[in-house]
Amino acid sequence: MRIDRLLSMRYSYLSRSEWQKEISRGKLSCNGNVVTKLDMKIKTGDVLSYAGRDAAEPDVNENFSVLYEDEYLLGINKPGNLPVHPAGIFYHNTLLSFLRKSYPMTLHLLHRLDRETSGVVLIAKDARVASHIQKNFSAIEKKYIALVHGMPDNDEFMIDMPIDCDASSGIEHKRAAFEGARQKACTEFVRLASFNGVSLMKAMPRTGRQHQIRVHLKHAGFPIVGDKLYGPDESVFREFVKNGFTDDLMGRLGFRRSALHSRSILLHHPVLQKKILIKAPLAEDMRQFIIDKRNSDV
């Protein structure tokens, strides 16, 4: 396999084009020799070495907690501003890296949450249990809580609209919901409360597409509070990438992160043969935002 393809598949915290840049900078060695060709073929037994990147990883919120644990599974309450796994400029400062300090074993991530999304993350300690759960993951019931701009006309509604790359945007990895998109996607929503131009929503995804809840809420006209990528103004994301999170962005967004929280996961435990419900209390920053908004509405 080509070295750039192998690296992007196995070490996905950098994209294929980013790995190509690292190779061009002389950062990769194979069996002790610096790699100079992007199309170099790697075979079984080759030893790759990576000299690392110069950029320091940003600080993250390490205040995660264990919600559920048995011999086979871990249920973690992840704070906002903590990547689950290596991606982009994050490698060491991730939930999986921190967990390995206490769990010196192979941990199997069963699903993903965006870095800014807080709440329940399900992890398996056993490869066979992980495989069984992933094969039947569509049967798992997941619920999320989101704070959105605006107030829906209906207290309950469903968005059944496929998702694909957003060709109208110049931002890589941005997605959109539209007729004719390639990935079927369906999410049910329930409005729990509204106050001062903001609504508290419960979201229940029936499919598991990347950014699904964020994209569907944007499509419905109710973007998530603090969402830099799928908020009302795409320029916010570009400014965030260029300058980081600034006071100006805080003033425009009103919330430091995307106000989305993985509230609960209900699954059938393949070994214990019973249903397990793992719930995470609403993140403190979201709870305080609700209090402040309600007080300002009085």
The verdict on 40 and 167 lying in the same domain is no
Q: Is the pLDDT of residue 152 over 70?
A: yes
Tell me the CATH number at 27.
Answer: 3.10.290
Give bridge partners of residue 164 from the DSSP assignment. Answer: 176
Per annotation, catalytic residue among 114, 126, 166, 285? 114
Tell me the CATH number at 93.
Answer: 3.30.2350.10
Instruction: Find out whether 76 and 64 touch, Cβ atoms under 8 Å.
Output: yes
Q: Is residue 111 part of a domain?
A: yes
Q: Is residue 263 part of a domain?
A: yes
Q: Is residue 191 part of a domain?
A: yes
What domain range is 24 assigned to? 3-50
Give bridge partners of residue 147 from the DSSP assignment. Answer: 200
Q: 108-109 and 65-69 as β-strands: parallel, antiparallel, unpaired?
A: unpaired
Catalytic site includes residue 39: no
Helices (H), 121-191: 127-135
The verdict on 44 and 150 lying in the same domain is no
Q: Is residue 55 part of a domain?
A: no
The pLDDT of 47-55, averaged and rounded, is: 80
CB atoms within 10 A of CB 55: 7
pLDDT of residue 162: 98
The pLDDT of 1-22, averaged and rounded, is: 87
pLDDT of residue 18: 87
The verdict on 117 and 259 lying in the same domain is yes
Q: Which of the 8 DSSP states describes residue 56?
A: P
The verdict on 119 and 227 lying in the same domain is yes
Q: Is residue 36 part of a domain?
A: yes
The verdict on 210 and 108 lying in the same domain is yes
Total tally of structural domains belonging to the chain: 2
The verdict on 76 and 15 lying in the same domain is no
pLDDT of residue 117: 97
Chain-centroid distance of CA 137 in Å reads 17
The verdict on 27 and 99 lying in the same domain is no
Q: Is residue 34 part of a domain?
A: yes
Measure the CA–CA gap between 107 and 43, rounded to whole angstroms.
26
Helix axes 3-10, 16-24, angle to 10 degrees: 130
Q: Is residue 38 part of a domain?
A: yes
The verdict on 32 and 73 lying in the same domain is no
Helices (H), 121-234: 127-135, 212-220
The verdict on 120 and 264 lying in the same domain is yes
Q: Is the pLDDT of residue 298 over 60?
A: no
The verdict on 268 and 120 lying in the same domain is yes
Q: Is the pLDDT of residue 86 over 70?
A: yes
The verdict on 32 and 69 lying in the same domain is no
Three-state DSSP at 290 gives helix
Long-range CB contact pairs, 5-10, < 8 A, 24+: 6/42, 7/48
Measure the CA–CA gap between 213 and 205, rounded to whole angstroms.
7
> pLDDT of 175-184, one tens digit each?
999 999 999 9
The verdict on 134 and 238 lying in the same domain is yes
Q: Return the minimum-mean-pLDDT range out of 89-93, 161-165, 213-217, 278-282.
A: 89-93
With CA atoms as reference, report the closest residue to 22 among 54, 47, 58: 54
With CA atoms as reference, report the closest residue to 271 among 165, 124, 139, 150: 124
Q: Is the pLDDT of residue 198 over 70?
A: yes
Structure tokens at 7: 């690296």
Q: Is residue 57 part of a domain?
A: no
